[in-house]
Amino acid sequence: MAENKQVVSMLVDNNSGVLARVSSLFARKGFNIDSLTVSATDNEAISRITITTQGDTQTLSQILSQTGKLIEVQSVVALDGESSIQRELLLVKIAADEAMRSVIREVADIYKASVVDLSVDSMVVELTGKPSKIDGFLAVIEQYEILEMCRTGVTALARGNTILGGNMAEDIL
Amino acid sequence: MRLTGAEILAHILIEQQATTIFGYPGGSVLPIYDALYNHRDTITHVLTAHEQGASHAADGYARATGKTGVVVATSGPGATNLVTGIATAFMDSVPMVAITGNVGSSLIGKDSFQEVYTMGITMPITKHNYMVQKIEDLAPTLRAAFRIAGSGRKGPVLVDITKDVQVAEYDFTPEPAFVEQKPPFTADEEIWEIVRYLGRSKRPLICFGGGVVSSGATAELYELVHKAQIPAVHTIMGTGVLSWDDPLNVGLAGMHGFVSSNQALEHADLILAIGFRFSDRVALNTHKWGKRASIVQIDIDPSEVNKNIKIDHAVVGDIQLILQKVLPMVEKTTHPVWVNEIAEWKKEDYQPAGSNTTLKPHQVIGVISELAGEDAVLVTDVGQHQMWAAQYCHRTQPRSFITSGGLGTMGFGYGAAIGAKMGVGARRVIHITGDGSFHMNMNEVCTAVSYNLPVVTVVLNNNVLGMVRQWQTDFYENRYSNTTLNRKTDYVKVAEGFGAAGYRATTLTELRDALEKALLADGPVWIEAVIDKDERVLPMIPGGGTIDDMIVE
């Protein structure tokens, strides 16, 4: 079966230790975590954890049903690229002397990235977008000297009226 | 009423009818033990020799009675000593509530005396765990612990209570005990699909496990097996659900299962898996297991579907409720050709030779089973003796064979037998162990002596770590690395030294005599049953193998 990148989105109780519980489950079951974000939701008692992972259909089904068993996980769903909005933020610090500044600025403009910091020898560029867009930008920028970078990992919401609420684990069996 | 945290805990134990508990005191649970002193007429606290023994006792109590077992331990080493017992219960889905104290909130995170992060240590081996640092959370958390432990797929829940919470005060109002309300099963179409699979099958086979026991579905399973004349095999956790002499009970399947059971799995065209999680000790080779069969699964846990084996049709829910729906839909039918075929394989089952001059393992288990009677609870440790016990224990009812199936915990038996005895009253409890396992936790005899518990221990002493040795014989060219024990332990003297009685048997007659005396005793008795070091558990299918790889001599 094909190995696919998957985005798993879950609503969890906003308790201390809940992140450890989820990541410990992924570790002991041998599921990958490519990126993980935890964020607030409109309900202060609930947080949203978004994990990008890899695996075939069977692995994804296990991830959903095993995660769904955790008492503090209220709901969990897999989001695909078509029916969801997936965004990531990139900060990248690039070595840039006076001569290079305009070159990098030009690339940034094409990607609608913004320069958020400038110093004598470097500049920091910020970009928000789909993971594939970030990958594309990085592929171009890699030819320059990257001093430091970080990506936040994916955060995602389903498109349309779909709201993560009920436990979806059973639907995928 | 206004109570301290420790008093709230005691009141919740009474409210939840958990009035037999196991544990060991210490610095971080002093307030709890002070409250238990107030309630000593209502709550029976069994003081073990070691927290591990207490955790196995709570587990054994739960397995024997179906109620939630409770264990209490202090912070730090008290909590870490529970770990093996909690993990054992987790692997076999046993309802347990473990209460640990922790240092006061002001000392948390400061590497204080006897401080460990109990939550973190027990997270992967509990169904859920809590740390209570606010008195107002205590009662709801303890009630949630009993609810989570005793509902759905059961399991251990740990509640870690800081010492300051134990002495803080809060209002308490008693509530009724938690009683599981199983959600009704409504997906009738899924049931019809099971019935259609059964209708198409010429060689149907039920393979069931401990889930049937947890769900209390013994009667329903019996009815299904007999109404539709479907032969059944079982895992070690399913022992006793169908009587051993039921003609449709083919018996134990898997690595040390019967030839007939494994042949039936190999040749079935439909395997109906009920409360069975396709562990690697039964579904030994996930690619070839049940290769001629469609696989239909009934289980309470959705994550068990397609976990180890690809399932053709799964119905997720409580087994008892599902079988109650299946029963009226299934036609009364017979499968005479298939049943006869299995009967032929039965004749090929491995038959070990008996002896009058030395003790043979199957004869030891046979005598125990015969003299202890149907009503007795047999509790095992882990290793060869466990497999012999599973093969020859002749159980006729569920919860009468208690064993660490999933985790395979050597040292489980004595604590579990003490817990079982506390739960089953007058019924006999026989602890079957080996010299390896027994040396791990034999200290719990002091508990059995203190509480005057007539638990009979039969030690199958072969002077070696028999199961590991057997693998060394078969797969490591007889290189017996660290498996020759030859301990100088005098079991009779050690038993007497602890205040128990001990016997030694080298022949069947001696064993019979000793067991007859032991079963009349009003305190714990050990019987050393001497067997040969080269006895092997047969048949055996090596890990990852199929019936074609079966070793029968």
Residue among B127, B148, B302 whose CB faces A65 most closely: B302
For domain A86-151, give the CATH superfamily: ACT-like. Chain A, domain 2 (3.30.70.1150)
Mean pLDDT to the nearest integer, B255-261: 98
- CATH number of the domain at B361-530, please? 3.40.50.970
Q: Measure the CA dihedral B528/B534/B540/B545, to 10°.
A: 130
- CATH number of the domain at A4-84+156-172, please? 3.30.70.260
- Give the angle subtended at the CA of B151 by the CAs of B149 and B157, to the nearest 5°: 15
Share of chain B above pLDDT 90, in %: 100
Residue A162 is predicted with a pLDDT of 84
Q: State yes or no: pLDDT of A166 exceeds 90.
A: no
Which class is B2-171 in CATH? alpha beta
Mean pLDDT to the nearest integer, B506-519: 98
> In chain B, what is the straight-line distance between the N-terminal and C-terminal CA atoms, in Å?
68
Residue A169 is predicted with a pLDDT of 40
Mean pLDDT to the nearest integer, B183-209: 96
Task: Tell me the pLDDT band of A161, cut-offs 50, 70 and 90.
Answer: confident
Which class is B188-347 in CATH? alpha beta
Residue B376 is predicted with a pLDDT of 98
ipTM: 0.91
Q: Dump the DSSP string for B431-460.
A: EEEEHHHHHHHGGGHHHHHHTT--EEEEEE
Mean pLDDT to the nearest integer, B288-316: 97
Residue A168 is predicted with a pLDDT of 41
Q: State yes or no: pLDDT of B57 exceeds 70.
A: yes
Q: Measure the CA dihedral B529/B534/B536/B541, to 10°.
A: 160
B16 with B178: CB under 8 angstroms? yes
Listed range (A93-102, A157-166, B205-214) with the worst mean pLDDT? A157-166
Within 8 A of B306 by CB-CB distance, chain A residues are 58, 61-62, 173
Q: Which of A22, A69, A70, A76 is the mutation pick for testing B, counting most B CBs within 10 A? A: A69
Show which of residues 49-88 on chain A sit within 8 Å of chain B, judged by CB atoms. 58, 61-62, 65-66, 68-72
Q: Rounded mean pLDDT of chain B? A: 97
> Tell me: the pLDDT tens digits for B332-355?
999 999 999 999 999 999 999 999
How many Å apart are CA B438 and CA B49, to the nearest integer? 14
Tell me if A24 and B123 make a contact (CB, 8 A cut-off): yes
How many Å apart are CA B100 and CA B165, to the nearest integer? 12
Residue A3 is predicted with a pLDDT of 63
Predicted TM-score (pTM) of the model is 0.96
Residue B109 is predicted with a pLDDT of 96
> Tell me: the pLDDT tens digits for A14-50?
998 999 999 999 999 999 999 999 999 999 999 999 9
Mean pLDDT to the nearest integer, B466-478: 97
Residue A167 is predicted with a pLDDT of 42
Residue ranges of domains in chain B: 2-171, 188-347, 361-530
> Tell me: the pLDDT tens digits for B111-121?
999 999 999 99
Residue ranges of domains in chain A: 4-84+156-172, 86-151
Residue A170 is predicted with a pLDDT of 39
Q: State yes or no: pLDDT of A172 exceeds 80.
A: no
Task: Tell me the pLDDT band of A2, cut-offs 50, 70 and 90.
Answer: low
Task: Tell me the pLDDT band of A1, cut-offs 50, 70 and 90.
Answer: very low
Q: Is B120 on the interface with A (CB under 8 A)?
A: yes
Same fold, B2-171 and B361-530: yes
